[in-house]
Structure 1
């Protein structure tokens, strides 16, 4: 079953043809698909050192190229400030061989994604993740501000999406309880100026080795956003103890911490229903994150009550 109703079929044969026709210097490299829970791109290895990323959903080729060029610039910028390995852009491909859109080539990072090598109980991993986030925050926005329509701007801008998520989640989740939680989280005021953020610190985008952070993937969204945005990683990736380690390392006050919880909540609500059949691992991630958020909120209520 495909993840999206309009999903493009990308096969190993198509990628072999694209590489052979457009990048003959890699013609002798073995092409193999990478099993992934990712929802945006099909990923293929090109030999041992490169990977091809092909968007799964059709869009205007010119618009898709502009997005890939922007992502390449963002990935290169993040690579300059990260103390942990990240993929670096190598080339952009064109439509061809039956594939209708441009595509990208990056360096390949070895390692195991956090969805397979669960680091949620590791204080050392939490410290590494905090160090990664701190380095991005310290990079400076160069006067840029958040300008997208995804997570990272104004919480209440997502009310319509959340309403759809609540409607689609009837029968899957305790929607009345989740509505009450969102009604509180959405009103949390914004105080800090934008900082540079990864934007999508979920388990599938984080590499782990020996219980430590060994690399970060999907860096094309690097840009200015709410300082709380990268705190989604605290809820997607960590249990209670390590989560507090990360919070202390980043010196998060109560408001910033709760806003991070709000962004994680917004993301998790969409994962559960949208991928319940097409990508069960992503749906399970959403449920687990919501459970962590609700558990934390319940503990806060008990402490304040």
Structure 2
């Protein structure tokens, strides 16, 4: 993403559309109240259906493929994972002027964790390591490539372009030379293509995690990027969420070697430097987490 390109226009969705879709395709749920659920996510719109269900509708054509990926793989992954994941209860189809497939899921309780405000960071780090380890060992054949599963070199052009774009935003106060040095250190390391691919969630952002009142991992959501790839690509929480001591706990629990850690840091940094100029005026949550990642990478490794 780059703020130099125009923003795609999301397909309009609202409560009235969702009510019509539910009434036609899932009449048993037609009487449930519908209300939009606020989310910092950028690809899907969420609507609570009563207290126990949630409808999730892609806002862009690119998100429609994620619907089928979740329908295919979530039922197979769920029994292998240590925390709840979304359960598809209804497979919605295009109708009422809405052009793409959509789904109804069981509602999963919990709150998104916030970097810098974790109540149980060490325990959460162990929980996240357990989830990542379980994904890696899922062993399901026929998996698609993860959306974010390739080597850092695949992001070379977009990452360098984003760093240069940030040079033109002095009010962000980003040390772009330091960012470049971190990025280049990953490119000099062992190539990820020599690493056997593993199952990945591939989008472990705080917005895709739910924690309970004790601050422990309660669920992981949004598997639209899931598939197989470089194990470094599921290390994002080390920098987008966890403080330094818990970051070490996460790494130790997964026994991450130096080359994988370096690639994971670079992949997380790449996502942040691309997101910051793109979202800095439109999505405060995404931009704020991008700033957090940049600080975490440059100050703590």
> What are the ranges of 5 or more consecutive residues in structure 1 without an aligned counterpart?
298-305
In structure 2, C-alpha distance between the alignment counterparts of 1:156 and 1:124, rounded to whole Å: 33
After TM superposition, list the pairs within 5 Å mapping 1:1-305 onto structure 2. 4-58=7-61, 64=64, 66-115=65-114, 118-119=117-118, 122-142=121-141, 144=143, 147=145, 150-169=147-166, 170-171=168-169, 172=172, 173-189=174-190, 190=192, 191-209=194-212, 210-297=214-301
In structure 1, C-alpha distance between the alignment counterparts of 2:124 and 2:290, rounded to whole Å: 21
More displaced 10-residue stretch of structure 1: 69-78 or 199-208? 69-78
Alpha-carbon spacing, 1:68–1:42, altered in 2? closer, same or farther (3 Å)? same
In structure 1, C-alpha distance between the alignment counterparts of 2:209 and 2:60, rounded to whole Å: 23
Hey, what does 2:3 align to over in structure 1?
none
> What are the ranges of 5 or more consecutive residues in structure 2 without an aligned counterpart?
1-5
Give the 3-state SS of the residue equivalent to 1:45 in structure 2. Answer: strand
8 Å CA contact 1:78–1:222 kept in 2: the answer is: no
- Following superposition, the deviation at residue 160 of structure 1 comes to 1.8
Number of residue pairs aligned between Structure 1 and Structure 2 = 289
In structure 2, C-alpha distance between the alignment counterparts of 1:208 and 1:67, rounded to whole Å: 24
- Following superposition, the deviation at residue 142 of structure 1 comes to 2.7
More displaced 10-residue stretch of structure 1: 163-172 or 282-291? 163-172
In structure 1, C-alpha distance between the alignment counterparts of 2:237 and 2:291, rounded to whole Å: 15
- What CA deviation, in whole Å up to 9, does each residue of 1:32-88 have, x standing for no partner? 1111111110011111221111111246xxx93x54222211222221211101111
- Following superposition, the deviation at residue 116 of structure 1 comes to 8.5
TM-score where L is the length of structure 2: 0.89
8 Å CA contact 1:78–1:219 kept in 2: the answer is: no
